[in-house]
Amino acid sequence: MLAIDCRRPWLTVRFAAPHRMVSWAPHRPGFVTARDVAWREVGAGELGPEVDAGRWFAEELAATGLTEAVGMLTARNVAAYVCGTAKVEGVRAGAIVTLGLRNGERIGIRRAMAQESGAPEGAGTINILAYVDRPLTDAALLEASALAVQARTVALIEAGYRAAGMDAPVTGTGTDCVVMAAPQAPDGEPCAGESYAGMHTAIGEAVGACVLNAVRQAAAEWIGAPPRGG
């Protein structure tokens, strides 16, 4: 169904056929059709305030032949990615996660990073690709994406990680990104496919389970030995 290729600074996932995707990724956000999803690990000094990050990333993707990929950025070592899978009533779902929490936030309370003494080196982030094995309508794709975000948040609350100066666990970071993917319908129409992907459905249960388990593992690994760049 897909192939994973990790050669730092790149982590790429290629689906066997075009997929419908929705995300707020820095490269090709929104609803798109693509076969590839790419993570670019950003090293120290590569993206200073004087750099146009969007242009830089587009050029990096082009140089690697990934212009048509949905692209995400991370300071996390991409080789530390974690995979999760689930099967519910014949529905197969999977998740690929990279996770760092150095700029962890709690929803509704924005930390003033610039006011902190000694901002962390490397902006941590959580990047998630979640996918199912059957076509979804655009509405169902959005619904599945919402469940992936919910699963990520539950896993972080369970992990209990608190950023400096915070009394409660973080629920994400300021730069998280989720890509939700499903096979393109045979006729290519975005209105074709399964119409629902909520928690009462097998699709929703499978998506939630695979993301929850992958983020749990990734968070445990990061909290156990947080890297300088995560």
Q: Is 29 domain-assigned?
A: yes
Q: What is the pLDDT of residue 110?
A: 82
* Closest C-alpha among 87, 179, 71 to residue 131: 179
- The answer to whether residue 53 sits within a structural domain is no
What the block records as the tokens of 102 is 């150095």
Task: Tell me the per-residue pLDDT of 180-227, one tens digit each, with 9 for 90 and over.
Answer: 999 998 876 777 789 999 999 999 999 999 999 999 999 999 999 877
* Dihedral (CA of 9, 104, 211, 147) sign: negative
Tell me how far apart the alpha carbons of residues 204 and 45 are, in angstroms, rounded to a whole number: 40
As for how many domains the chain has, the answer is 1
Could you tell me if residue 145 is inside a domain? yes
Q: Which residues pair with 20 in a beta bridge?
A: 33, 182
For residue 12, is it within any domain? no
pTM: 0.93
58 inside domain: no
How far, in Å, CA of 101 to CA of 171, rounded?
10
| Residue 25 belongs to a domain | yes
Residue 67: Cβ within 10 Å count: 14
Residue 10 has pLDDT above 80, yes or no: yes
| 68, part of any domain | no
Domain containing residue 172: 18-35+75-224
- Asked whether residue 214 is assigned to any structural domain, the reply reads yes
